[in-house]
Amino acid sequence: MKIKRVQTVLVIVFISLLFLSANVLAAEEEKAIPEPPKRALPPLIEELGLSAEQKEQIREQQYEERKKKMEVRNEVRLRELDLQHELGEATPNKEKIDKLLVELTELQGQLLKLRIDAILKLRNILTPEQFDKFRDFGVDIMKARLRGIGKEEIEPEVKPEKANKKK
């Protein structure tokens, strides 16, 4: 009976440590990849041909999104701290651990929803052509990350067919 209890506690600790280490790595990744510097955006802004009104709308949207993300990320950190504390107890409360895991999952879902909402709001600000260019630039960033190139070194790629339309 005691062996099963010890095994259960060890499995819970292992899974929790695995979960927490993934979040720690994600937090370190956030620190390692700071917000894009302002100099990285002008080529994209120039390429998109944003109006002054669009620039202001995007600036306000980014501000609101960052604020909400910070709030949710702080809640995630608090729940992770609570989870670590509970796991460190002599007799961890499984119900409390399960509740914390559910809360952490819900908070991760909120972060994903914020990201999707931001993309949809941006889509409403940009024209369809601007959004296509923006999406292409996002693909270029992802390709560059896979190659290990920083955002500041990326220039939006002008597709041949789009270059011809400009002339």
Encode pLDDT of 106-127 as tens digits.
999 999 999 899 989 988 998 9
Residue 154 near residue 42 (C-beta atoms within 8 A) = no
pLDDT band for 32, please (50, 70, 90 cuts).
low
Residue 78 near residue 100 (C-beta atoms within 8 A) = no
Q: Report domain extents, the chain.
A: 38-50+128-167
Which class for 61: exposed (0-12), middle (13-18), buried (19 or more C-beta within 10 A)? Answer: middle
Residue 156 near residue 140 (C-beta atoms within 8 A) = yes
Predicted local distance difference test score (pLDDT) of residue 135: 83
The residue with tokens 């701290």 is 81
- Residue 4 CA to residue 33 CA, distance in Å, equals 43
Predicted local distance difference test score (pLDDT) of residue 166: 47
pLDDT, tens only, 33-82:
555 544 445 667 777 888 889 888 988 998 999 999 999 999 999 999 99
Longest CA span, the chain:
79
Predicted local distance difference test score (pLDDT) of residue 138: 73
Distance of CA 135 to the CA centre of its chain: 17
- Residue 41 CA to residue 152 CA, distance in Å, equals 8
Type of residue at 117 = D
Predicted local distance difference test score (pLDDT) of residue 102: 95
Task: Tell me the helices (H) and strands (E) count for the chain, helix number first.
Answer: 6, 0
Predicted local distance difference test score (pLDDT) of residue 87: 92
- Residue 144 CA to residue 112 CA, distance in Å, equals 23
Lowest mean pLDDT among 10-14, 91-95, 101-105, 138-142: 10-14
Name the CA dihedral angle for 138, 142, 147, 153, rounded to a multiple of 10 degrees: 30
pLDDT, tens only, 131-162:
888 888 777 666 776 776 555 554 555 555 54
